[in-house]
Structure 1
């Protein structure tokens, strides 16, 4: 049997028997037990009734969290000329073209979001096997292939979160920090759930949202009452 430290045991006891909570109560519980030596991320996991192996059941999208993520997002932009200058002026951390492609091919990936102008996609396309598995591949469906690179950089830096269903039918993301005000965390969580709900694919049959769980980086998880969480 695994032996847990004092802090972990206390958290597990606090969470014991607590399921199908309201978002507000779950946030209070998580905040009260996020006692790590760093500001823990509050994470959400949504189990969906889809099979992403089928194209008509793929779930992906983007949502701007009203109160940001609390995380510093490093943004790379593939662009040339005036658009490269525009990206730099907007605060992009890395801007380049073939030189950036070669850096990534060499194994250096020092960014959390990748944006590209449409004309750069033949170059970016060569990085599919590297960026794809890391969910970093620019995609017009989530606004990361665009001519408006300044707006895309601004959104990425300002709390925009991308989501994509995994093979097991789960969507997960960080929705803020444990230090956030409870009301702001709740607002972020509702915004994320709403975005996933609106992204329901045409091929989804039966129950779409099966389970929603919240946790902090180092803490146990707690399930959320799906009906109340998805109510407008």
Structure 2
């Protein structure tokens, strides 16, 4: 496939065969994020796990200290006082059976779903819709809770969910190209720490095998694993 004019211009700035220190990689990613929009800085990990086995699943949530730079739309399944609490906390969509019907009709205008435990009977009917999109509320991730205020605030302030995909890959956005390098590094460290803390019992041998950074439209930069937690 022929390279675009932009890709040709970027190619000399990144050595595809080199493994870069984290700070140097962040600098390169920012330098190559030249689109007219504020590109997302994306982290990709190759982990030594097989997610087909339950004891090798890697899934969790992390609050990035510098936020994501993204406006996260939050939907909350709740009634009564908890619905009012969710609205006051800044939830974008709040409902119960009516929200379920909206979703069943094909409208999914949100990035995160939170539910009070008593609403899971309703939410459960949406498993085939929300599940494949990674939107199903989960007690382990803090998205099935009576403390909807905290859950909404966390989701809005830079909380990121992660889940290992086939072949042991984890992808996540850890900020925007406009962020200062120090802020991207702080988010990178927090994310890596969360990955290591969620190392499954079934993981054998080397856990973090490969790490790379890129921006939405920029080239990938491979990282030197020296000094990276869990690598």
Q: Retained in 2: the 8 A contact 1:58–1:201?
A: yes
Q: Retained in 2: the 8 A contact 1:40–1:177?
A: yes
CA deviation profile, 1:124-182 (whole Å, cap 9, x unmatched): 01111110111100001110000000000000000000000012211110000000000
What does residue 136 of structure 1 align with? 135
What does residue 66 of structure 1 align with? 65
CA deviation profile, 1:96-136 (whole Å, cap 9, x unmatched): 00000010011100000000001111110111111011110
- For residue 16 of structure 1, report the CA deviation from its aligned partner: 2.3
Alignment TM-score, normalising by the size of structure 1: 0.97
- For residue 8 of structure 1, report the CA deviation from its aligned partner: 1.2
Kindly indicate whether residue 86 of structure 2 is the aligned counterpart of residue 87 of structure 1: yes
SS in 1 for 2:227: helix
- For residue 10 of structure 1, report the CA deviation from its aligned partner: 1.4
- For residue 231 of structure 1, report the CA deviation from its aligned partner: 7.1
SS in 2 for 1:175: strand
Q: Indicate how the Cα distance of structure 1 residues 231 and 132 shifts in structure 2: closer, same or farther if over 3 A, else same.
A: closer
Q: How many Å separate the matches in 2 of 1:138 and 1:163?
A: 13
- For residue 18 of structure 1, report the CA deviation from its aligned partner: 5.3
Alignment of 1:1-232 (within 5 A): 2-17=1-16, 19-230=18-229
Q: Indicate how the Cα distance of structure 1 residues 37 and 81 shifts in structure 2: closer, same or farther if over 3 A, else same.
A: same
Q: What is the alpha-carbon root mean square deviation over aligned residues? A: 1.2
Structure 1: where are the runs of 5+ without partners?
none
Alignment TM-score, normalising by the size of structure 2: 0.97
Q: Indicate how the Cα distance of structure 1 residues 226 and 149 shifts in structure 2: closer, same or farther if over 3 A, else same.
A: same
Structure 2: where are the runs of 5+ without partners?
none
Q: Indicate how the Cα distance of structure 1 residues 183 and 231 shifts in structure 2: closer, same or farther if over 3 A, else same.
A: farther
SS in 1 for 2:218: coil
Query: Which contiguous aligned blocks of 4+ residues in structure 1 show a shift greater than 4 angstroms?
Result: none
CA deviation profile, 1:38-62 (whole Å, cap 9, x unmatched): 1000000110011111111110000
CA deviation profile, 1:170-206 (whole Å, cap 9, x unmatched): 1110000000000000110111011001100001111
SS in 2 for 1:136: coil
Q: Retained in 1: the 8 A contact 2:32–2:219?
A: no
Q: How many Å separate the matches in 2 of 1:101 and 1:231?
A: 41
Q: How many residues matched?
A: 231
Q: How many Å separate the matches in 1 of 2:21 and 2:230?
A: 11
Q: Retained in 2: the 8 A contact 1:49–1:210?
A: yes
